[in-house]
Structure 1
Amino acid sequence: MPSAPLTVPVQGTVAHSPEGPLLRLSRRLDGHDTFLTGSLDIADSSVPVRILTLDDVTVLRPTSGFPAPADGEHWHGRLRLPHGLRPRSVPPDLDGAANQEGRSLDALDEAELRYVLTFLSESTTPDIRQARIEAVVSALPTTTGRTQ
C-alpha cells in the first residue's frame, strides 16, 4: 500500500562538500528510508533533494543548482516527501531464519535494526545475503522457553 505524501518542517545548518552544498538537519529524520528524494521549500523556492539518513544525522543534498548560504549558516524550510513515511520492516527471509532458530528480533533497538537492514540490503549476491542473515541471527538472543 503506498504511503501518503508528507510535509515536514525542517531546519539545520549548511556545510559545503566537493559535490556541492549539504543541508544538515538539526534533528535526525526518523521513519524515512535512506537515499530517498523529496523537495525542500526554502527561501521562496522548491529545491529537489536527496535524503541521506545516517546513524545519527540526516543530510539533504540538493540535486539541482542551489545557491546555498555560507558554511555554518542556519536555514529552515519544509521538506516535501511524495512517498510519505515508510516503516522499517523485517524482511521475510530474516524473520523466517530467526523464527527457525528460535531467536528474537525484538531484542534489536531502532538503531540496531536500521544497521541490520542496511547490512542486508548491501548484499551483492544471494550467498552473501544468506551468510549475513546467519551472522545476524546467531547474534540474537533465544526466545523465552526454548532450549538450545
Structure 2
Amino acid sequence: MPSAPLNVPVEGTVAHRPEGPLLRLSRRLDGHDTFLTGSLDIADQSVPVRILTLDDVTVLRPTSGFRTPADGEHWHGRLHLPHGLRPRSVPPDLNSVADQEGRSLDALDGAELRYVLTFLSEATTPDIRRVRIEAVVSALPAAAGRNQ
C-alpha cells in the first residue's frame, strides 16, 4: 500500500440514527481501505470519521461531535485517507491454482473480487488460505476453451 495519504472529494446525504449521524456517500468509495478511520473536511470543520464500505455503499460515521446537517440534506467535503489503496490484483497463489484447474477468474465481478480478496486476506494460517483458495477456484467456471 502506498504510504502517502490520499485526499478524495466526496459528497452525499445525511441520515440521522439513534447512535448518531451517518454521512452516506453518493458514490461508493472504491479501492480504498475500509473499516478504518480518516478525517473529513466538511463545512469548515475537520471531523474524524470511521469509513464503512459495503457492497453497494460507503458510509462515514463521525467519531466525535460536529455541526451535523439536517436529515436528508446534501453535503460535500474532502475525505483524507492516511492508509492508501487496497490491493486489487489477484494474488499469485490464487491465479496459479485457477490456471492449474482451468478456471476463469475473469468471471468475478468487482464486488465478488473484493469479497474473495478479503476472504483470502483473513486466512490465519497457510493451510486455511490453501483451503480457501481451493473453495474459490472450485466455484469458478471453466476458462474459455477448456471443458471441465
Using the size of structure 2 for normalisation, the TM-score is: 0.82
Q: Which residue of 2 aligns with 1:21?
A: 21
Structure 1 residue 39 corresponds to structure 2 residue 36: no
CA distance in 2, matches of 1:89, 1:35: 20
Shift, 1:16, TM fit: 2.3
Contact 1:47 1:62 in 2 (8 A): yes
Range with bigger deviation, 100-109 or 54-63: 100-109
- Considering only aligned residues, what root-mean-square deviation do their CA atoms show, in Å? 2.4
Range with bigger deviation, 47-56 or 15-24: 15-24
Shift, 1:37, TM fit: 1.9
CA distance in 2, matches of 1:16, 1:129: 40
Compared with structure 1, are the counterparts of its residues 6 and 100 closer, same or farther at alpha carbon in structure 2 (3 Å cutoff)?
same
Q: Which residue of 2 aligns with 1:59?
A: 59
Structure 1 residue 75 corresponds to structure 2 residue 72: no
CA distance in 2, matches of 1:141, 1:53: 28
Q: Which residue of 2 aligns with 1:107?
A: 107
CA distance in 1, matches of 2:31, 2:3: 12
Question: Structure 1 stretches of 5 or more lacking a match?
Answer: none
Shift, 1:63, TM fit: 1.8
Number of aligned residue pairs: 148
Contact 1:4 1:85 in 2 (8 A): no
Deviations 1:5-33 (A, max 9, x none): 22111111111234321100011112213
Range with bigger deviation, 138-147 or 57-66: 138-147
SS in 2 for 1:71: coil
Q: Which residue of 1 aligns with 2:133?
A: 133
Using the size of structure 1 for normalisation, the TM-score is: 0.82
Compared with structure 1, are the counterparts of its residues 124 and 140 closer, same or farther at alpha carbon in structure 2 (3 Å cutoff)?
same
CA distance in 1, matches of 2:41, 2:4: 18
SS in 2 for 1:132: helix
CA distance in 2, matches of 1:74, 1:144: 46
